[in-house]
Structure 1
Amino acid sequence: MAIAYIIISIILILLSFLVFRVVVRKDYLNKGKLSAVSYILEILIFALHANFAYVFLPVDWPDMPPFPDNRIIAYSSTVTIVVGLIILIYAFLNLGYQGSLGMDKNKLNTNGIYQHSRNPQLVGYGMVLFGFFILYSSWYSLGWFLVYLIISYFMIKSEEEFLKMKYKEEYKEYCKNVPRVIRLFW
């Protein structure tokens, strides 16, 4: 299983690089927004990553393993997952559906949850994944979380290049005042 896990991880990272650093970046530079194809590819990458967990989970897709008997682990992971989902949903609602779908916006969103993180949707999803790591702790689930961090980095880099180009000094000032992810990971 370890070999398959490593191969799938490498393929997923390479696909993510291709999607975010080549296709999405090209759309941002040439069109000033995401195309429908880029948007679908972004969703596909995150869907592939989410389902990548089934390489190491001891159940068949789409089942989930039972909660562990340890209540502290069960409760702490559940709270982490729920808080992550709340942040994720709130971030998308605060950004607005228009921005979430890659459509051109005339104003940089620095309000609401975007006052605390430039990428709160990735923070929320990361918390969901970390909750699953707590729930089903293993080296494989840790690797799954680390692959997510790499995918997120590729996505963030392409978006930041576009936002710097589009909003210039306003975005540079925003970057000085608001962390990329959270204060621990400026």
Structure 2
Amino acid sequence: MSTESIIGLIILFAFYGSYFVKIFIQRTRGINTDRMGKGSKPKKTFVIEVILKLTTIFTAVIQLISIIFIQELSIFIQNNLIRYAGFIVSLLGVVVFVNAMVTMGDSWRAGIDNTQKTKIVKTGIYKYSRNPAFVGFDLFYIGIALAFSNVLNIIFAFASILILHLQILEEEKFLPTVFGKEYLDFKKKTNRYIGIK
């Protein structure tokens, strides 16, 4: 296995592993973290969440295949400088994602949850972005797509980023119904993404 594949696998397992560790920790506290496509919610929200869940799974599989079979797959970008820049971007995505999950604490959920009490977190990385976990996903997807730039990896990375954005828009409709003015004030003061309203 090549050095690039080993680096890619370490980053991949750090990202997805942190997600499953968070779910496990919350489960031990009686919190059902995975709310994607579950519960009573508008049909459009439900469909977006199911598509997001499936796209995330397919993207992870494509990423794993892209990393393991790097020599066999046709790579668009052969430049090592870009490949290592991709590693840095994806690693930054891991750091941002983990930071977001840790900062959110027990209020962190995957999907819209109208069954469990949560709170708005406005400290730490949430001072700079209302959706830092999604920023982490985006950076991770872009980085892995740069590092292992076969056609399927690129297509699924950008499809996932688009679906994540649609999920954010659904959450922005839901959160004012739960948190009212507190969320609307947070929305006014804090960017959706880092540096982007």
Q: Please tell me the TM-score bracket, short chain as reference.
A: 0.5 to 0.7
Judging changes above 3 Å, is the alpha-carbon distance between structure 1 residues 41 and 99 closer, same or farther for their aligned structure 2 residues?
A: farther
Relative distance call for 1:140 and 1:99 in structure 2 (3 A) is closer
Distance 1:151 1:164 in 2: 21
Secondary structure at the counterpart of residue 180 of structure 1: coil
Q: Within the alignment, does 1:160 sit opposite 2:175 as a pair?
A: no
Tell me the CA shift for residue 40 of structure 1: 9.1
The counterpart of 1:146, out of the listed 151, 158, 173, is 158
Once residues 139 and 41 of structure 1 are traced to their aligned partners in structure 2, the CA distance between those partners, rounded to angstroms, is 20
Kept in 1, the 8 Å contact 2:129–2:190? The answer is yes
Could you say which structure has the higher helix fraction? 1
TM-score (ref. length: structure 2): 0.62
Figure out how many residues of one structure are paired with residues of the other and give that number: 153
Q: Does 1:27 align with 2:40?
A: yes
- SS of 1:27's equivalent in the other structure is coil
* SS in structure 2 at match of 1:96: helix
2:70 aligns with one of 46, 65, 87: 65
In 2, Cα distance between equivalents of 1:70 and 1:28:
46
* Structure 1 vs Structure 2 CA RMSD: 3.6
TM-score (norm 1): 0.65
Instruction: Tell me by how many angstroms 1:163 deviates.
Output: 0.9
Calculate percent identity across the aligned residue pairs.
21
Q: Which runs of 5+ in 1 are unaligned?
A: 1-18, 30-38
- Name the structure 2 match of 1:47: 57
The match for 1:94 among 103, 127, 146 is 103
Query: Which residue identity lines up with residue 161 of structure 1 in the other structure?
Result: K
Please say if residues 99 and 105 of structure 1, whose CA atoms lie closer than 8 Å, have aligned partners that are also in contact.
no
For residue 60 of structure 2, what is the amino acid of its counterpart?
A
CA shift, 1:104, in A, is 2.9
